[in-house]
Structure 1
Amino acid sequence: MRLGAALDLGSAQATRPQVDRAARLLEAAEENGLTSAWLGESYHVRPEVFHLPAVLVVLAHLAGRTDLPLGTAVLLARAYEPRRLAYEAALLDQLCSGRLTLGLALGNADLAERVGGGTDGRRPAEWLAALVASLRETWSAAPGTEGPAPVMPPPARPGGPPILLGGRTSAGAVRAATIGDGYYAATNYGDDLLAARAAEYRDARGAAPGEVAVTRLCLVDEDAGRARETAAEYFAPVLDYYTSRRAWMGLDGPEAPRLPLVGSPADVVAALRRYAASGVTSVQLRVAPYGTPPEVARRTLTLVGSAVLPELDKAGGDPPPARSDTERRALG
């Protein structure tokens, strides 16, 4: 299993200071063994604790400030015109020297009215499948040949970055297995929901390799009780964002948040091993939600590097699912 850093950047504070703090956080993440950096996006109409719009713009800035592979977790496809997305993602792949993984989800239907994207009147699932196919065809096209016109500059890697698809439903997991390079689960998907979707993804994928990635809030302390107390203090704004919208989801609908990666190093190792056993291959750690002091986030990263990753690296348990060369380049 690989661990990455999921960045919390929102519209409730000035953007540049947040990005500067994020760049420093990524230095600590890399020093402590995390292997990728991820950023989500939203298009808010009022200040919110996360996310920012236009995730590719922010990642383009960070591309010059970290050597970590970069990922969108996730970009909201309905906010984009497909051809322009092909150009912008290819350019970002160039800026980060072929280190981009493109996580995609549909996003809310109102994005078409608010920011000019949409599904061209087609069924959303049909439109998303066509978008993925168009991106790959465009990124693979050669100048002067028949078929889709290429983008210039092309992606740094032939065929473009790996594409992970999100979605809370069974159909979303199956879609990720059939047209994507992997499945991406959000912070607010409870562990039972995550395990179910990972199983459906693996069943639909069959013998073919594939990624299952997830974002999780994380706070580690030598004392488990102190970790939970600290998380209760500093993670409240983000948890309130989800619970006020009844958006923390279990298999049967909204449920109370549970934070398996909040606790002692042993607690976190046990939770990560459970994820690995359910087929998860990559976990992105949200260690610095809105309002979390930098020293708290850095302490979590230090303990992840010194006490969590060494235990995960020890032999034991089932081997991870096989991955293709493309997938090994994804996510670090």
Structure 2
Amino acid sequence: MTMPVMEPDLDAAVLRTWARKIDEGPFSSLCWGERIAFDNPDSLTLLGAMTAWTERVRLVTTVIVPQLHDPVMLAKALATGDVLCSGRLTVGVGVGGRHEDYRSVGADPKTQTMRQMADRVGVMQRVWAGERQTDSVLPVGPAPVQDGGPPLLVGTTGPKTLRSAAAWADGLAGISLDLDVGKQRELFDVATTAWSEAGKKPPHLATSFWFALGDPEPARAQIHQHLRRYMNWIPADFVDAIAPTTGWSGSEDELAAVLGEFAAIGTDEVHLIPTSSDTGQLDRVSEIVKDLQL
């Protein structure tokens, strides 16, 4: 379950309630994403709060953009998070989709490439391995709890970029806009083949999609409103055009069926993305997941 970090009017009480409900519920992971030119919480600060507010659930960044950070400082922050959560951290990374985020932190949009991201991931992995970055007396610490650092997931929907990530990633943190299970299976097959050819164990296969539970019209309107707010860097008429078929809306039984379809193609996790900060939506999904686990 993804935290509602892209919703308006958040405060500590809302975020804490969501985190604790996710941790106490049937979910395998608690996720959150990163933006800069937006009023969402800072990802690394939120990581600290999540380590304090949860005890069980795995914490997953979906995704952090390494090019928006100094890679050594990012490695130090994530290693600290791994220590504080006792090794429950998974790091999803991606190149991001917004030049405005790059410009906001003084990063060059020309670095918005998989190669540039992989270079920074390499720096992070060397920090986590305890390699000195300079002639300092000690390496940059703390050492992460997990050997070699937190598992890394690549956030992408493209076969070419997915293949290129097999050298350093442990799996995929994808997204499905139209919930096309067939296309998702094809991408999973690309990942499985690429990881095998790289001599690595099978990748962790995760995808995500926006959701809204409820009667058809208000649920779909909820997603539309969320997309209008979240996709504010895209012309509104384009968002309006894709809104009827982006994400998922419907009843509890229909969501259970969709999750079953993704499970059938070998999906390890579906990272559900809320389109409201209403905990009632979270409670209803919790019951669905519990029933699926029985």
CA contact (8 A) 1:93 1:155 kept: yes
Counterpart of 1:138 (choices 122, 127, 132) is 127
Counterpart of 2:48 (choices 60, 80, 83) is 60
Question: Helix, strand or coil for the counterpart of 2:167?
Answer: helix
Question: Helix, strand or coil for the counterpart of 1:64?
Answer: helix
Question: Helix, strand or coil for the counterpart of 2:166?
Answer: helix
- The answer for the alignment partner of 1:319 in structure 2 is none
- The answer for the alignment partner of 1:198 in structure 2 is 188
Counterpart of 1:70 (choices 41, 54, 59) is 59
Question: Helix, strand or coil for the counterpart of 2:154?
Answer: strand
- The answer for the alignment partner of 2:4 in structure 1 is 8
- The answer for the alignment partner of 2:268 in structure 1 is 281
One-letter code aligned to 2:154? L
Question: Helix, strand or coil for the counterpart of 1:33?
Answer: coil
Give the 5 Å matches for 1:222-233. Answer: 226-233=214-221
Question: Helix, strand or coil for the counterpart of 2:173?
Answer: strand
CA contact (8 A) 1:111 1:118 kept: no
Q: Which moved more, 1:96-105 or 1:193-202?
A: 193-202
CA contact (8 A) 2:19 2:50 kept: no
- The answer for the alignment partner of 1:308 in structure 2 is 292
Structure 1 pair 88–187 and aligned structure 2 pair: CA distance change class (3 A): farther
Give the 5 Å matches for 1:199-218. Answer: 199-206=189-196, 208-218=201-211
Give the whole-Å Cα distance in 2 for the aligned partners of 1:81 and 1:143: 16
For the pair 1:296 / 2:286, whether they are aligned, the reply is: no
- The answer for the alignment partner of 1:329 in structure 2 is none
Q: Which moved more, 1:73-82 or 1:207-216?
A: 207-216
Question: Helix, strand or coil for the counterpart of 2:121?
Answer: helix
RMSD of aligned residue pairs (Cα, Å) = 3.3
- Residue 55 of structure 1 deviates from its aligned partner by 0.6
Gaps of 5+ in 2: none
- Residue 284 of structure 1 deviates from its aligned partner by 1.5
Give the whole-Å Cα distance in 2 for the aligned partners of 1:35 and 1:196: 24
Question: Helix, strand or coil for the counterpart of 2:163?
Answer: helix
* Higher relative contact order (CA closer than 8 Å, sequence separation 6+): 1
Give the whole-Å Cα distance in 1 for the aligned partners of 2:243 and 2:193: 26
- Residue 37 of structure 1 deviates from its aligned partner by 0.6
For the pair 1:238 / 2:226, whether they are aligned, the reply is: yes
Show CA shifts across 1:127-184 (max 9, x none): 222222221121012579999x732112122211001011232222212333200111
Show CA shifts across 1:55-83 (max 9, x none): 11112112101112211011122211111
Gaps of 5+ in 1: 221-225, 311-332
Give the 5 Å matches for 1:27-42. Answer: 27-42=20-35
Structure 1 pair 90–210 and aligned structure 2 pair: CA distance change class (3 A): same
- Residue 11 of structure 1 deviates from its aligned partner by 6.9
One-letter code aligned to 2:53? R
- The answer for the alignment partner of 1:328 in structure 2 is none
One-letter code aligned to 1:257? T
One-letter code aligned to 2:190? E
Give the whole-Å Cα distance in 2 for the aligned partners of 1:239 and 1:11: 10
CA contact (8 A) 1:23 1:66 kept: no
CA contact (8 A) 1:155 1:161 kept: yes
Show CA shifts across 1:78-123 (max 9, x none): 211111111111111112111110000012345443203348x768
Number of residue equivalences = 283
